[in-house]
Amino acid sequence: MLRWTITFIIIALIAGVLGFGGIAGASAGIAKILFFVFIVLFVLSLLKKGVKS
Protein backbone atom coordinates (compact mmCIF):
# COMPACT_ATOMS: atom_id res chain seq x y z
CA MET A 1 0.00 0.00 0.00
CA LEU A 2 2.91 2.33 0.69
CA ARG A 3 4.11 1.95 -2.90
CA TRP A 4 0.69 2.90 -4.28
CA THR A 5 0.53 5.91 -1.97
CA ILE A 6 3.94 7.13 -3.11
CA THR A 7 2.91 6.65 -6.75
CA PHE A 8 -0.27 8.64 -6.28
CA ILE A 9 1.42 11.44 -4.34
CA ILE A 10 3.94 11.83 -7.18
CA ILE A 11 1.04 12.06 -9.63
CA ALA A 12 -0.63 14.64 -7.38
CA LEU A 13 2.59 16.68 -7.18
CA ILE A 14 2.96 16.68 -10.96
CA ALA A 15 -0.68 17.70 -11.36
CA GLY A 16 -0.11 20.41 -8.77
CA VAL A 17 2.93 21.82 -10.54
CA LEU A 18 1.03 21.92 -13.82
CA GLY A 19 -2.05 23.40 -12.21
CA PHE A 20 -0.30 26.00 -10.08
CA GLY A 21 1.98 26.99 -12.97
CA GLY A 22 -0.97 28.14 -15.05
CA ILE A 23 -0.58 25.42 -17.69
CA ALA A 24 -3.81 23.76 -16.63
CA GLY A 25 -5.55 26.33 -14.47
CA ALA A 26 -8.82 24.41 -14.32
CA SER A 27 -7.14 21.45 -12.62
CA ALA A 28 -5.56 23.47 -9.79
CA GLY A 29 -8.45 22.83 -7.41
CA ILE A 30 -8.45 19.11 -8.12
CA ALA A 31 -4.68 18.98 -7.70
CA LYS A 32 -4.91 20.65 -4.29
CA ILE A 33 -7.51 18.16 -3.12
CA LEU A 34 -5.54 15.18 -4.46
CA PHE A 35 -2.34 16.48 -2.87
CA PHE A 36 -3.85 16.65 0.60
CA VAL A 37 -5.71 13.34 0.24
CA PHE A 38 -2.51 11.55 -0.73
CA ILE A 39 -0.51 13.24 2.02
CA VAL A 40 -3.02 11.81 4.51
CA LEU A 41 -2.84 8.37 2.84
CA PHE A 42 0.96 8.51 2.92
CA VAL A 43 1.03 9.32 6.63
CA LEU A 44 -1.52 6.60 7.38
CA SER A 45 0.54 4.09 5.39
CA LEU A 46 3.66 5.03 7.33
CA LEU A 47 1.83 4.64 10.63
CA LYS A 48 0.34 1.30 9.57
CA LYS A 49 3.72 0.02 8.46
CA GLY A 50 5.28 1.19 11.72
CA VAL A 51 2.65 -0.60 13.82
CA LYS A 52 3.23 -3.93 12.01
CA SER A 53 7.00 -3.82 12.57
Average pLDDT, the chain: 77
Q: What is the pLDDT of residue 4?
A: 80
**Residue 2, C-beta contacts closer than 8 angstroms, at least 6 positions apart:** 42, 45, 46, 49
The domain of 37 spans 2-52
Query: Torsion angle, CA of 11/4/44/33, rounded to 10 degrees?
Result: 30
Q: Which residue has the higher pLDDT, 53 or 44?
A: 44
Q: What is the pLDDT of residue 21?
A: 59
The residue-averaged pLDDT of 4-30 equals 73
Instruction: For the chain, count helices (H), then strands (E).
Output: 2, 0
Structurally, the chain folds into a number of domains equal to 1
Is the CB of residue 5 less than 8 Å from the CB of residue 13?
Answer: no
The residue-averaged pLDDT of 8-31 equals 71
Is the CB of residue 19 less than 8 Å from the CB of residue 52?
Answer: no
- Name the range with the highest mean pLDDT among 2-6, 17-21, 28-32, 40-44: 40-44
Give the pTM: 0.49
